[in-house]
Structure 1
Amino acid sequence: MEPQEREFIDRMGLVMERLGGTRTMGRLYAWLLICDPPDQSLTDLAAELGVSKTAVSTVARQLESGGMIEHAPTPNREHRYRVVAGGWAQAMRVQFDGVRRSLETLDFGLSIVGDDRPEQRTRLEETRDFFAFTVQDADDFLKRWQDYRDRSG
C-alpha cells in the first residue's frame, strides 16, 4: 500500500467514526474502494489494514448488512468482499428507516406527557416534528439522488 493510499484509508476511518461507525469500518471500506483487484479476501484485508481476521470479519458483516459491501463470487468457499454500487444510498435508507421507526416512540412519549407539562411537551413535539419532516423528505432525497446519478452517469 502506498503512503497516500494509507493516508486516505486512515482519513476515511476518521470519517466513518464521525458518522457513528468504527475506524476499522471506514478503513476497510476505503481500501475496498481503491484496491486492485476490487474484491479482497478476509486474509488480504487483515494484512493490508494491519488488523485481525476476526476484526475484519466482524466489520465486513456489519458493512454487508448495511448494504455497503457484498460477498464476491468465488469458485471456492473463500470469503471475498467488494464495494456495492449505491451503498451509501442504501446506508441512508437504513438510517431513514430507523428514524421512521422512532416516530412511534416519540408518539408514545407525547401520549404520556399531558398539556399540564408544556415544557416537556414542547421538547417532544419539536423532536417528533423534526423526525416526521426527515421521514417525509427522505424518499424525495433518495429520488433526487438517483435522478442526479442517472443524469451524470
Structure 2
Amino acid sequence: MDPRESEFVDRMGLIMERLGGTRTMGRLYAWLLICDPPDQSLTDLAVELGVSKTAMSTVARQLELTGMIERAPTPKREHRYRVVSGGWTHVMQVQLAAVRQTLDVLDFGLSAIEGDRPEQRGRLEETRKFFAFTVQDADEMLQRWEKYRDKSD
C-alpha cells in the first residue's frame, strides 16, 4: 500500500469510528474499495492492515452482517472478502427501520398521555413529526439515489 492509499485507509477508519463502527471496520472497508484484486483473503487483509487474523475475521464478519462486504466464492477453503454494491443503501435501510420503530413508540406515548396535558402532548407530537419527516425524506432520498445511480451507469 503506498502512502496515499494508507492515508485514505486510515481516514476511512476515522470516519467509520465517527459513524459508530470501529476504526478497523473503516480501514478494512476502505482497503477493499481500492485493493487489487478486489477480493482478499483474511490472511492478506490482516497483513496489509497490520492486525491479527482473528481481529480481521471478527471485523469482516461484522461488515458482512451489515451487508457492506461479502465472502467471495473460492475453490479453496480460505475466506475471501469483497465490497458489496449497495452496501451503504442497506445500512441506511437498517437505520430507517430503527427510526420507524421510534414512530411506533411515540404513537404509544401519545396514546398514554391522557387528560388535559397540552405541554406533554405538544412535545411528543413535535418529536413524532420530526421522525415522520425523517422517514419520509429518507425514503424519498433513497429513491432519488437509485435513479441517480442508475442514470450515472
TM-score normalised to structure 1 length:
0.90
Distance 2:38 2:128 in 1: 42
In structure 2, the residue matched to 1:127 is: 127
SS at match of 1:138: helix
Give the letter for the 1:9 counterpart. V
Percent identity, aligned pairs only, is: 76
How far, CA to CA, are the matches of 2:106 and 2:57 in structure 1? 35
Q: Name stretches of at least 5 consecutive residues in structure 2 with no aligned partner.
A: none
1:1-150 alignment to 2 at 5 Å? Answer: 1-114=1-114, 116-150=116-150
Cα distance per residue 1:45-99 (max 9 Å; x no partner): 1111111222212221121111111110000221110001111111111111121
Distance apart, 1:119 and its partner CA: 4.0
Aligned length: 153
DSSP-derived class of the 2:67 partner: coil
Offset, 1:125: 2.3
Separation in 1 of the partners of 2:79 and 2:116?
58
For structure 1, the residue ranges without an aligned partner over 5 or more in a row are none
Give the residue type in structure 2 aligned to 1:34: I
Change (3 A) 1:6 1:93: same
CA gap of 1:53–1:111, structure 2 versus 1, over 3 A, is farther
The 1:5/1:124 distance shift into structure 2, 3 A limit, reads same
Alignment partners' CA distance in 2, 1:120 and 1:47: 56
Paired AA for residue 69 in structure 2: I
Say whether 1:152 aligns with 2:117.
no
Distance in 2 separating the partners of 1:121 and 1:23: 41
The 1:119/1:77 distance shift into structure 2, 3 A limit, reads farther
- Residues 6-15 or 111-120, more deviating: 111-120
